[in-house]
Amino acid sequence: MANLAQSYLLAVWEGGGNVPPLLAVARKLLAAGHDVRIMSDACNRPEAEAIGAQFIAWTTAPSRTDKSAASDVTQDWEPQDPLEALGRVFDRIMFGPSGAYAHDVLAEVAHRRPDAIVSSEMLFGVMAAAEAADIPLSLFGPNVPLIPVEGIPPIGPGLLPARNEEERLQHAQISAGVAAVFNRGLPALNAARLQLGLPPLGHVFEQSARATSTLFGTARAFDFAPPQLPPGTYYVGPQLHDTVAPHQWRSPWSQPDARPLAVLSFSTTFQNQGAALQRVISAAAGLPLRLLVTLGPALDPADFETAENTRLVAEAPHGVLMKDADLVIAHGGHGTVMRALVNDCPLLVLPMGRDQNDNAARVAARGAGLTLDPRTATVDEIRASMTRLLAEPDFAINAARLGAQIRAEAEASPILELLEALPRAAAAAA
């Protein structure tokens, strides 16, 4: 029996790689006949409307009009201290503007009430608004779990699973530290809750725990997954979406070229990655390969020196591009890593922060690639790693093995069924 059409409000902020996965979720809901509205920064209107969703820009909450480095709300590449960088995300997105995000969501709810809300797992103001309006809420994270989950190494430093009691204690201490750092946002969140007529919380994680479900948009096979997740928490596989249409892509090599193709992609957002990109470009010069570099909207091609075997483009559809790639060199963003692996490509990962150390650790642990420090890796070290990844077949074999598992999870994703169940569960509980 076909499901009756339901109305969904999807909320996300412009953080680069977190937007395409939510667009993939929206496409699935639309294909199933549901009504979908997307609330996000104004610069995301073209992508949302391209898939047929209705778009509402944030008005009180931060709303970027473009994707340049200057418009980035967090500027989280500036601090040298990772905790200070994280603090900027807390203050400027996750908790500081909680009241503004809640205001915008409730204004849209008053205009047209949805049957369910799907929110980025980082927007605590949206969570509070859903609670105040008594609307079923699902949190979606397009990566390995951000909030600590028992049995999964705490996110940040790129930890491997604990092997002994000493490491388990270390992980528990780090998780407690992460929870304490998150709780710096409690005053701002409770201030927003007070405006909404909601009682104060003792910890910010109490807010996220009130969601009906939490969906991890990664593969269990990729993550260091525990045997059992907490109730209401699910792996739903990577949700992949190209914002560049395949038909818009033309290879910059006009003639057939038998040399291996290496793709260099270091985020759609600015992370001060120019120096690391240049060292990779220099390392590839003279190697028997083609190097395609996707710069994103925040970098200027005029700032880079290239060799004969290198082409620079602003953007490219990764789903098409990586089908032909033999190697991917990346910052370790989850979406780029998933695209590489589902296309059986080994990776050289140079993580620059955020969740990238954790993705790099998972790639290296499965033998699907190598990782280097983008701040200290020399041109010679990068060249040697690229040469190894292309010459030693085990990397490609391991990437293909892991990629097959990820593809299977993506194809069997339960995300549509879980989201369609949200309004029904709420109605049954009423």
- Asked whether this chain's domains 7-239+413-429 and 246-408 adopt the same fold, the reply is yes
pTM reported for the whole predicted model: 0.94
pLDDT tens sequence across 223-258: 999 999 999 999 999 999 887 777 778 888 877 888
Quick check: 367 pLDDT over 80?
A: yes
Q: What is the pLDDT of residue 249?
A: 83
Quick check: 189 pLDDT over 50?
A: yes
Q: What is the pLDDT of residue 79?
A: 79
pLDDT mean over 2-31? 93
CATH architecture label of 7-239+413-429: 3-Layer(aba) Sandwich (3.40)
The model's confidence at residue 266, banded by pLDDT at 50, 70 and 90, is confident
Q: What is the pLDDT of residue 2?
A: 46
Quick check: 354 pLDDT over 90?
A: no
Give residue limits of the domains in the chain. 7-239+413-429, 246-408
Q: What is the pLDDT of residue 3?
A: 61
The model's confidence at residue 426, banded by pLDDT at 50, 70 and 90, is low
pLDDT tens sequence across 52-97: 999 999 999 999 999 888 888 988 878 777 778 888 899 999 999 9
Average pLDDT, the chain: 93
Q: What is the pLDDT of residue 1?
A: 35
Q: What is the pLDDT of residue 429?
A: 62
Q: What is the pLDDT of residue 374?
A: 93
pLDDT mean over 394-419? 98
Quick check: 343 pLDDT over 60?
A: yes
Higher pLDDT, 383 or 244: 383
Q: What is the pLDDT of residue 283?
A: 97
Tell me which CATH code domain 246-408 carries.
Answer: 3.40.50.2000
Q: What is the pLDDT of residue 427?
A: 65
pLDDT mean over 117-131? 98
pLDDT tens sequence across 131-178: 999 999 999 999 999 998 999 999 888 999 999 999 999 999 999 988
pLDDT mean over 382-401? 98
Distance, C-alpha 198 to centroid of its chain: 30
